[in-house]
Structure 1
Amino acid sequence: MSSIFKSIRTRIEGLHDGDSHHSSIAPPIHNGPYRELNDTKHLLRQSHSTPANRPKKPMTLIELFQSQGCNSCPPTNSNLISLAQDQEHNPDPGNDYLLLTYHVTYWDYLGWADVFGLSANDARQREYVRKLGLESAYTPMVVVNGLGVGVGNTRADLQRVLSEGQKKADQRVKISVVQQTGNGGVVVEVDTSTLSMPKLPTSSNASALEVLHVRYLPALHSVRIDRGENAGRILPHVNVVTGVEKMGYVAGNERTRFNVGRRGEARENEASVLIVQDGRGGEVLGVLRLV
């Protein structure tokens, strides 16, 4: 393909068997078989009390870019779901994880249009490709805190990506809800005075700290795939992203407030999260779940 997008399906085909236990936009229209499996909320999201002698780490953001039309994605998707289940049954009180699953559209031509696919997800992945200096985008791709990146199709590779992404976990901004507004909206304050970076941004451009509002479906769902490379399979999905909104930018050593309103197209069962990054596709410096 001439595009920057590619699949790693030929590169990891032999690895599947060994680890196969994988401004705001409207949510996608689900034109394929779709059902909610259970009431499990916010998978890969743990909020446990931390022992006094062990300080709680900042939240780790895990972002998965995948496609229902790519047969290389299920192993990584399964690994992340297994990680979520492991965290539920054997929680690590020192860690707080949030998984977001972004379904891309550039494999739709293979015969199956991803029912969760959004062009905004393609754009977000391209930002990581540029910032991380990658040759091209690929699926599956796991990004942790905007720092660690990899395929995640084996437990070992997933652990490597998690470790790389948590190297700078202490460099965080403070995000807090300061006011409730009508129709489920909130006013959120981002405080960058907590950072001790050599050079903080001073203007609203691509090099400043970017603030994003991401909506997602906080449950486990399954979709039956009727065509394409995964034809005949029923694929599980967790925390599927349904909207990405760029709220603006923040400068250094200041407090900036954002009005995060509930958009008219938002579903009642959606959750959302505010993310602060060091520029487009940069290191994640703050995460706050709003619902």
Structure 2
Amino acid sequence: MKKLYLSGLFVLLIQPFLMAQKMADSLPQFFQPSVLIELFSSEGCSSCPVADAFMKEILAISDSSKTAVYVLDYHVDIWNRSGWVDPYSDSTYSLRQQNYVFKKKFAAMYTPMAIINGGNKDYAGSDKGGIGRKVSELLNKPSKHFIRTAVAPATNEDSIVIAYNIWGNIDSCDFHAVLVQREIKNMVTAGENKNKVLEHHNVVKKMISIPLKMNKGYVKMGISRDLNVESYRLIVFMQHRRTWDIMASDQLSFD
């Protein structure tokens, strides 16, 4: 029974990505759908390692199939008084989660919480069935928006220049650029995950946002010259300012 369950689970995970690849081949490129999963997690939460492992599975499938499914792992600070201070947490990410709860009228703020394309439903980050079905649904729905981006180092500055080109209506939308660290392993010595080595993926390190006024443009993001950029990715997305629906997203690697 256990073997059958695992087999069925693998099919559930891989099916959305395979179907999306076929769709990408048949659609004009600028209508290709993209999916952004925002995970709100904490090293102080004993339920989060399972969600981290699931995000690793998703990224492995999307990377190998070159499907437009991206993950952002925001570490919130809401559990920092429960015995362990998450070294990757930031109150800004907690505020982003609070804003989602308020705007989308979610029942509660918790970890691990996953939100897909800024939608009106929240998911436990370990909910493979629910998240898999939603990803499949979105990958099979042509998008009215599309983003393509490029990045280059700024001249004589500790920053990068992110150029963007957007197809579709940008009214009341913001452009977000997020620097993420691909993989982090950390030993937790207190709290609910005491004596565990936790593994995280696409951990949010920096986020900048601007209101969109034109379909083409660029933004600068400050980064350290000593940063090992091969260990990082850049994920960008456009989001409606009022509804917080995410219209399109894109990902860049530095390698």
**What amino acid maps onto 2:179 in structure 1?**
R
The farther-off stretch of 132-141 and 104-113 is: 132-141
For 1:52 and 1:288, how far apart are their aligned partners in 2? 14
Counterpart for residue 185 of structure 2: 222
Gaps of 5+ in 1: 1-17, 20-44, 202-207
Change (3 A) 1:280 1:116: farther
For 2:161 and 2:202, how far apart are their aligned partners in 1? 21
Gaps of 5+ in 2: 7-16
Counterpart secondary structure, 1:229: helix
Counterpart for residue 13 of structure 2: none
For 2:114 and 2:250, how far apart are their aligned partners in 1? 20
Is 1:154 the counterpart of 2:127 in the alignment? yes
Change (3 A) 1:166 1:261: same
For 1:119 and 1:281, how far apart are their aligned partners in 2? 22
Conserved in 1, the CA contact under 8 Å of 2:48 and 2:111? yes
Counterpart for residue 7 of structure 1: none
Counterpart secondary structure, 2:84: coil
Which has the larger helix fraction?
A: 2
For 1:149 and 1:111, how far apart are their aligned partners in 2? 27
Conserved in 1, the CA contact under 8 Å of 2:180 and 2:203? yes
Counterpart for residue 91 of structure 2: 119
- How many residue pairs get aligned? The number is 230
Counterpart for residue 289 of structure 1: 251
Aligned-pair CA distance for 1:120: 1.5
CA deviation map 1:115-168 (0-9, x unaligned): 111112112212221222213321111111111531132321222442465575
Q: 2:175 aligns with which of 206, 211, 235?
A: 211
Conserved in 1, the CA contact under 8 Å of 2:178 and 2:234? yes
Conserved in 1, the CA contact under 8 Å of 2:41 and 2:74? yes
The farther-off stretch of 152-161 and 51-60 is: 51-60
TM-score calculated relative to the size of structure 2? 0.75
For 2:142 and 2:96, how far apart are their aligned partners in 1? 22
Aligned-pair CA distance for 1:101: 0.7
Conserved in 1, the CA contact under 8 Å of 2:235 and 2:250? yes
Change (3 A) 1:167 1:50: closer
Identity %: 23
What pairs up with 1:39-58 in 2 under 5 angstroms?
A: 54-55=26-27, 57-58=32-33
